[in-house]
Amino acid sequence: MKKYLYILSILVGSVLAACKKGELDRFPQTSISPNLFFNTEEDLTLYVNGLLSQPSRSTYLNDQSTDNVSTTAAVEVKNIMLGSANAQNIVAGWDWSRLRNINYFLLNYQKAGVTTAVKNHYAGLARYYRADFYLDKMKRFSDIPWYSGTLDPNDEALFKGCDPRALIADSIMADLDFAYKNVRETVPIGTPGKWAVATLYARAALYEGTYRKYHDELNLAATANAFLQTAARVSGEIIASKKYTIYNTGKPDQDYGTLFSSQDLTANPEVILTNIFDLSKGKGQNVNSTVFGDYEQAPAKDLMQAYLMKDGTRFNSIANYAQMGYVDEFKNRDARMSQTIVYPGWIRVPDLTPYIQRLNKNFTGYHQLKGYVNSTDNNTINGVDFPVYRYAEVLLIYAEALAELGTLTQMQLDQSINLLRRRAGLPDLNIGIANGNPDILLQQQFPNVISNAGVTLEIRRERRVEFAFENTRFDDLMRWKAGKLLTRSPEGMYFKGLGKYDMTGDGIEDIILIDRTATIPAEASKEKNSIGVVLIYYRAGAIGTDATVYLKNGNNGGNIVTESVVRIFEEPKFYYRPIPQQQIALNPNLKQIFGW
């Protein structure tokens, strides 16, 4: 099933290698002459498939800008909050070469001797890619120049100022609407078709609708509902098509995790678009060493506490939930939790005994499981497909858009969010009960949610846990105007103090925390547990000391703490990024926004 796409990719790469060079002001004619190339459907196919760009399994390491994880990486938003970033040293994001390649196609595809429907299909794909390109730019900068063509180096348009966000958003919507109406359903496996386009259309509409609703600094709140209505309509049409279903075989402890560990997702009923990996076909990716352990990121306790109990009640409703240790906090939880984060008793291949978490300073103690391939076979590790678009997202978009519009019904909730909850073995979410008893902690995190608050907050919870480590959380926090949540330093496992602890759930102690001033004994002198296994020693103490495990209250215990810095999120400035100062020096018509 995968063979055709790999052959196509090789052909496209050989034809378009020179097409991917340069910036917006460089001509591609030296590589591809429009008079010689844009003549047949094969030409259109080769060019458009050369534009194919999809997220990969490295996505699982992209939560470092959020409250889902702790990180030791030089993350941009973290540096901004620490005051060490500005328009002079933030230089990422102002690259237009991809847009130039897209627009070159859109200026020349009409030359092909094919039917209008064929032309519109390929133009729709190009406009889908352009919308995706501009959506990322708008998220980052808000106001940006809109270019619909390739430019001569002397073209005055190269020195235009930024167009307003309203124009950019409307142009993105126009591109996606055209693509949705014209791109075919049947396309080569691994490339976007009609329903993949529709998913991005709904995603973009939800993003902009909620962004406008909550960001009063834009003065666009009056137009928010139009975008939310588009998000609800398009996601509703995907649902009505009955082309996709939630992957659910009745095994709540396995089904969710299957989506992130499968060698072939092309036939999975939930996956709308797949990034295919197959080492035997020359395309593999191994992210095991980066997503697992303490490479750069580790799951935060705040994410752990977001998961519901198995019976649908809130974890934070349990007495002393904040002082619950690692083994106990996994008991009777939403099944997605143990398919996302390493749980007590998990066995790592090729080991024969349960894995014991490695504790280290600046990390939380929790280990990420989503994205990790539990195998020692190189072909298996490199051959796991990545779900680019999942039907689960469509259901979440549908429910959230309707909730924000204030029109969500129980029937619509049953057609969307509750399908995800049933897969996870949870009871259904009820609108009346949710609105009658909102989660107090979620209300504190999102105080700007006023109407329909209870169910809206629960939909946000579902989105967080369903898509943990899939690179959605940062965009969500930005569009909900919840950047202040990023000021809280991530914390980890709770330990009541120095002493011995069971980490595998069998009741037998595995590690021992000793005072940071104590000396770890030689191997022969270390304590053993009741079955004769040597305990793993850690020196514990307050952050800033020479301890190897930082506890909030030092020897008196508490959560593991990962940093001691003060984070400040300046609103609305930090919801946006500055245009690199060097670009403004080249083009004075470009202007910074919101104090940058």
Tell me where in the chain the CATH 1.25.40.390 domain(s) lie: 3-74+81-218
Contact 311, 40 (CB under 8 A): no
By the 10 Å C-beta count (0-12 exposed, 13-18 middle, 19+ buried), 201 is classed as: buried
Contact 204, 211 (CB under 8 A): no
pLDDT digits (tens, 9 = 90+) for 264-322: 999 999 999 999 999 999 999 999 999 998 889 999 999 999 999 999 999 999 999 99
| Helices 116-141 + 97-108 axis angle, to 10 | 160
Could you report how far apart the first and last alpha carbons of the chain are, in Å?
A: 50
Q: What percent of the chain has pLDDT over 70?
A: 95
Lookup result for tokens 């990962």: 562
**Is the pLDDT score of 137 beyond 80?**
yes
Q: Name the pLDDT band for 29 (thresholds 50, 70, 90).
A: very low
pLDDT value, residue 555: 92
Is residue 96 pLDDT above 80, yes or no?
yes
pLDDT at 451: 87
Residue 7: pLDDT above 50?
A: no
pLDDT of residue 126: 98
pLDDT score recorded for residue 31 = 59
Q: Which amino acid is at 167?
A: L
Distance CA 69, CA 464 (A): 12
Pairing outcome for strands 386-390 and 549-550: unpaired
CA distance 355 to 345: 7
Residue holding tokens 């930082």? 550
Helices (H), ranges, 109-193: 116-141, 165-182
pLDDT of 12: 39
171, 146 in Cβ contact below 8 A? yes
Domain 3-74+81-218 in CATH 3.30.70.1110: no
Residue 10 has pLDDT above 50, yes or no: no
Upper half-sphere CA count for residue 236 (Cβ side, 13 Å)? 14
More confident call, 33 vs 327:
327
H helices of 503-576, where?
none
pLDDT band for 150, please (50, 70, 90 cuts).
confident
Where residue 18 falls among pLDDT bands split at 50, 70, 90?
very low
Give residue-wise pLDDT tens across range 454-503.
999 999 999 999 999 999 999 999 999 999 999 999 999 999 999 999 99
- Check residues 568 and 24 and name the one with the higher pLDDT: 568
Number of neighbouring beta carbons within 10 Å of residue 508? 13
CA distance 424 to 362: 31
**Closest by CA position to 159, among listed 595, 592, 583, 593:** 583
Give the HSE-up count for residue 71: Cα atoms under 13 Å, Cβ half-sphere. Answer: 20
pLDDT above 90: residue 14: no
Question: Are the beta carbons of 329 and 304 closer than 8 angstroms?
Answer: yes
Rounded distance between C-alpha atoms, residue 89 and residue 596, angstroms = 12
Report pLDDT digits (tens) over 241-268. Answer: 999 999 999 999 999 999 999 999 999 9
